[in-house]
Amino acid sequence: MSTSIANLWNTEYSKDAARKIASISGLYCGPAVVGWIAAVWNHHNGRPYDYMARLRDKHLFPDGPRDFTGKSDLPEFQNSLKSILLRETHNELTFDSDTYRRYGELHGKLEEYDMPIVIRMKAKHFTNGLHYVTLYKSEKKERDWKEDQIQFYWQDNGFYGNDGGNPGLHQTDWRNVGQHIFFWGAKQVRKTLVGVIADIQDHN
């Protein structure tokens, strides 16, 4: 079995932040995933960041649907996830331009870049529309004469229930790699040039 992990987002600090974020009543999924990514990143870089107060601020994180990138002309849509991720991480984190859908791709990219992946999916109920989650860990079982299987670990606003008593984290069932895709796509979080420089300075 192989395991892929975005290591910064698999710590006790990150799991506690996920729990606290899920406790915010009525928080939309987009702000929840960006707030979590930013909370962990800013903590890693030694920056004070009151993610709970910021996420409760409807001027910073207004309710409403939002796209991954760009600015939507659709009514009621809010700033994109990319724009608020850049804002909340001092322009150090953004999304890669590529979109991934296959389970095996997500497993590989998570390990390759050691950064989380934000997945956009259909919510459990049609009336809930689309839902964002942050993939931070996956496990893959390679099986002889059968399809490989993958199990995902992700963070969200508590919509999918809890993992080990943490309402902000979710562990999926095992799924066959070839039979499923995320139709609405997933984006890899990556460091901007500003983020790369900040990370180098942090380690010197």
Q: What is the pLDDT of residue 150?
A: 93
pLDDT digits (tens, 9 = 90+) for 42-92: 999 999 999 999 999 999 999 888 888 766 666 666 788 999 999 999 999
Going by C-alpha positions, the residue among 155, 177, 150, 181 that lies closest to residue 166 is 155
Domain ranges of the chain: 2-203
pLDDT digits (tens, 9 = 90+) for 155-189: 999 988 777 789 999 999 998 887 678 999 999 99
pLDDT digits (tens, 9 = 90+) for 109-163: 999 999 999 999 987 665 567 899 999 999 998 777 778 899 999 999 998 877 7
The pTM of this model reads 0.92
* Residue in the block written with tokens 């943490």: 166
Q: Do 147 and 177 contact (CB within 8 A), yes or no?
A: yes
Task: Give the span between the Cα atoms of 134 and 110, in whole angstroms.
Answer: 11
Task: Give the span between the Cα atoms of 6 and 83, in whole angstroms.
Answer: 22
